[in-house]
């Protein structure tokens, strides 16, 4: 299963994320090329690692802010159709249709 950002995109466009990925990729490509040409001691590992962590955090933030009802519905459908536990899904759907308290949000349950 391939992880996708909300909206089905692998690389979301919000908050300049695509530019961030492009800048990271191009910069690392140039630095790695220079490293090979100059036979360095791989000093670029630490900037590459730190920038990669920042890029990952940026991705998580953009992905979280990009989630909407359409993404949630697509994700549910994806999980339902790719799941190997159809009996469990059927059980949940049956309990939902019957109004079973085990599938009722806690905010809607009577005390």
pLDDT of residue 16: 81
pLDDT of residue 44: 82
What is the percentage of the chain residues whose pLDDT exceeds 70? 84
For residue 98, report the phi and psi dihedrals to the nearest 5 degrees: -85, -5
This prediction has a pTM of 0.53
**SS3 at position 110:** coil
pLDDT of residue 105: 79
CA 101/CA 82 separation, integer angstroms: 27
Over the stretch 34-85, which tens digit does the pLDDT of each residue have? Answer: 888 887 777 788 888 999 999 999 888 887 777 778 878 887 888 777 766 7
Higher pLDDT, 31 or 26: 26
User: By CB neighbour count within 10 A (0-12 exposed, 13-18 middle, 19+ buried), where does 110 fall?
Assistant: exposed
pLDDT of residue 2: 42
pLDDT of residue 8: 47
User: By CB neighbour count within 10 A (0-12 exposed, 13-18 middle, 19+ buried), where does 56 fall?
Assistant: exposed
């Amino acid at each position: 299963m391939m992880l996708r950002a909300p909206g089905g995109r692998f690389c979301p466009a919000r908050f300049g994320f695509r530019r961030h990925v492009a800048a990271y990729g191009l910069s690392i490509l140039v630095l790695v090329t220079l490293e090979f040409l100059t036979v360095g001691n791989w000093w670029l590992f630490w900037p590459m690692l730190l920038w990669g962590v920042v890029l990952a955090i940026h991705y998580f933030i953009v992905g979280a802010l990009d989630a909407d009802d359409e993404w949630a519905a697509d994700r549910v459908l994806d999980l339902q159709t790719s799941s190997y536990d159809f009996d469990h899904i059927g059980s949940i759907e049956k309990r939902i249709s019957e109004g079973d308290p085990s599938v009722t949000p806690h905010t809607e349950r009577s005390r």
